[in-house]
A and B are shown apart, each in its own frame.
Chain A
Amino acid sequence: MSALGAALVSADLLLQGGVVDLFSGLVGVVLDGLSKAALFVLIASGLSLIFGLMGVLNFAHGSLTMIGAYLGGVVMVVAVTGETGGLTRLVLFFLAIAAVFGVMTAFGAAMERTIIRPIYDRAPLFQILLTFGVVLVLDEVARIVVELRGMQPQSDWQAALGTAPDFLAAWYEIAGVSIRGLYLFEVLVGALVVTAIAAFLTRTRYGLYIRAGSEDAEMAQALGIDIRQAFTVVFGVGAGLAGVAGVMLMWDPRYGASVPLGVETLLIGFIVVIIGGLGSFKGTVVAALLVGFTDATMTWVFQNHVSFPGLPEMVMFLVLVGVLVVRPQGLFGLAEVGGH
């Protein structure tokens, strides 16, 4: 699915030749890589915050993204009619992001309070198991609701895809490469979210607590910080960010709202967070760029040189394995927590 955009980009490439071919190929890869990196950072940032502070690898993160995609879709499908203008649709989209962020944050906070909290003092294994159980339940609930509405849970929600304004759905020519307006918009949204999270982490008192708690939760407590409350807040915000990623993906024809979106995004999130390193938001951003550009480059290689369609996904995982072997703590992780 993710190959579709680049497929069209490189179909364009094949028509040209020589130096122009190489140059536009490069531009195509850069644009594709940026848009993918933007999506990946959206997908991974909530996971990264939670993993960083609590050491909990939340397997349900992808399912939260999937639910966010459907919720965002509901807002858009209900509010948008054939008449609705492009700008209004854009405003509605940002309202949907705000609404989904709110709902998912509340849901995440409730989840932390009820089922995550009792297992902090157990082996990490149980956190994986528990959140994986949540995946089973959330995916099935989503499937039930989607089927109740007479839709196919396995395939993308076309009605939601159709609510994107025309100027985003259209293709534009940049340096001889055609790119969908939406992909450029994704870069913008990704940059906005990264800026917002970075500001939250560095400019607010709560962000300071989170950065300190990620490094040494016990010391933070001994300085009078209610770390349990911080856990609840961060789990909530992490879930909210998962929802925001979902709303963005709901518009993207390479992804779209569907139940399998959960696992698809979960695996991407894992790769990015682990390559970036535990407890480092900077690492997550760098890793998202790295993985995004790897995906884009390999998609280009597949389109032009190798006839193996699974190439981008396989190389992404091999990069993960390679990084873990060389630097178990990830690119920006703390050495002493690596390997645990």
Chain B
Amino acid sequence: MYGSLIGSPLGDEFAVLLPRVRTMIAVFYVGLFAMSFDFVSGYTGYLSFGHAMFYGTGAYLVVMAANGALPLVGAETPFMTLLVVAALLGAAFALLVGSVSFRLTGVYFAMVTLGFAEVAHVFIRNWDRVSDNPRDGAAVTSPDGFAIGVPGVEDLQWSIGRLVGDSVENAFGLGIELGTAELSYYLIGAVTLVCYLALQRVLHSPFGRVMVAVRENEDRARAVGYDTFRYKMGAFAISGAFAAVAGALFAGYRRSVAPSSTFDLFVTADALLASIIGGFGTLAGPLYGHLFHETVGDMLTTESGGLARYLRETLPESLLTADVAGMEVVAVVNVLIDGRAELYLGLIFIAFVLFVPRGLLGTLRDRLGGTVAEAAAERLRRWSP
């Protein structure tokens, strides 16, 4: 699909507008991270400002285990097992952090979780077990890729990764050809989908309804007999577990971790952006929110397929050198477009907080009066004879 659009006469334009497969993979694992953030923050109303620490835990677990730097989980541990260990570790850390943080509410909760994450951040930047230079993180040294698939069945497992990932020439004898990127895309997408369904299941259970009750009116929830502390702890543990899985997927695909890409405040910011733009308190929203984020980032990238390069290559020379308020157009392009996604995302984010607090999906649901799937099905029924 993507290939056919890129191959079309308007391929250059599509290349600017559409995200690349590689980008879509990031949409899955960061999207899952953002969903886990939204799961606790959007549904219980407790803003987990240190969420990056769980993501980082999963990511570092994978890389350090593969390098044999950890006890119990050796270098030969299958990736699927690592995902489970990551989830357990994420949940355990969440319970630890939560036991202190849930004594507080509102701004204070956000602050103390951020405090914990910063402690973890400082620790990981200085832990000499990570690598010789922990400030720069660590990379997987072995050449083997991390495999996703059915545990124990060698034929139903495929490796992910940009360089070490598998590719399939004739999938299931159907003549489908999948490159390394496409295969990683489907595998990571599948794990993300399973996680999404699991989270969705929790939210639609009685447990999920108590989470929303905590957000709407915690005093009342407590007054009718719910031990809200335990529900909040449970929600936080689940959230931490899936954040760690997301981090593990990230590390499994990228095969290297650094403090700035895992434990950093701005990693939590990615989840915030995705949740607010996609729709706070709508589980699927953050995935779309991050898709939006990556799409804007991709359009404004300095690499090929970016708007800046496209404009420089497509616009006539005379226009590029024309003056705009004393600067050449090409300079304006370079300054205001080339790799400036964060600026526009920040502005979009502010606009969303001010004017679209329910986000894309939340607003869409308000308009449709139900979930998109329900409303679409309803309309289809109306149109069918």
List chain A positions with a Cβ less than 8 A from chain B.
Answer: 55, 57, 115, 118-119, 122-126, 128-130, 132-137, 139-141, 144, 148, 263, 267, 270-271, 274, 308-310, 313-314, 317-318, 320-321, 324-325, 328, 338-340
Contacts and interface: CB of A to CB of B under 8 A. Distances in A.
Interface of B: 45, 47, 49, 100, 103-108, 110-112, 114-116, 118-119, 122-123, 125-126, 265, 269, 272-273, 276, 335-336, 340, 342-343, 345-347, 349-350, 353-354, 357
**5 shortest interchain CB distances as A-B pairs:** A136-B346, A137-B346, A310-B122, A133-B350, A140-B343
A308 B129 CA distance: 12
A22 B276 CA distance: 54
Contacts of B269: 132, 136
Given A125-B47, A140-B342, A321-B116, A328 B108 contact: yes
A274 B49 CA distance: 15
- Residues of B contacting A: mostly: helix
A309 B126 contact: yes
Contacts, number: 117
6 contacts: A126-B357, A128-B49, A310-B125, A338-B108, A340-B107, A340-B108
A137 B119 CA distance: 26
A321 B99 CA distance: 12
A128 B110 CA distance: 9
A115, A139, A313, A318 — which one has the most chain B CB atoms within 10 A of its CB? A313
A308 B50 CA distance: 22
A286 B103 CA distance: 24
Nearest to A324: B112
Given A129-B272, A136-B349, A270 B343 contact: no
Contacts of B119: 314, 317-318, 321
Contact of B115 (A55, A118, A137, A321): A321
Contacts of B111: 57, 270, 274, 320, 324
B353 A129 contact: yes
Nearest to B124: A310
Nearest to A325: B100
Given A134-B350, A308-B126, A321-B115, A144 B340 contact: yes
Nearest to A51: B107
B335 A119 contact: no
A338 B350 CA distance: 28
B112 A320 contact: yes
Contact of B265 (A144, A263, A317): A263
Contacts of B342: 136, 139-140
B357 to A, nearest CB: 7
A301 to B, nearest CB: 14
Given A125-B106, A133-B347, A267-B118, 13 more contacts: A119-B354, A124-B106, A129-B276, A132-B272, A263-B265, A270-B114, A274-B108, A313-B118, A313-B122, A320-B115, A321-B112, A321-B116, A324-B111
Contacts of B122: 310, 313-314, 317
A57 B107 contact: yes
Contact of B106 (A132, A137, A308, A340): A340
Given A313-B122, A317-B122, A340-B106, A130 B354 contact: yes
A259 B116 CA distance: 23
A144 B343 contact: yes
Nearest to A126: B353
Contacts of A338: 108
Contacts of A139: 342
A324 B345 contact: no
B116 A128 contact: no
A309 to B, nearest CB: 5
Q: Which of A126, A134, A308, A317 has the most chain B CB atoms closer than 10 A to its own CB? A: A317
Contacts of B349: 129, 133, 136
Interface centre among B114, B118, B273, B335 (most CB of A within 10 A): B118
A270 B105 CA distance: 16
Given A263-B265, A274-B108, A274-B111, A144 B335 contact: yes
A310 B106 contact: no
A148 B118 CA distance: 32
Contacts of A308: 126
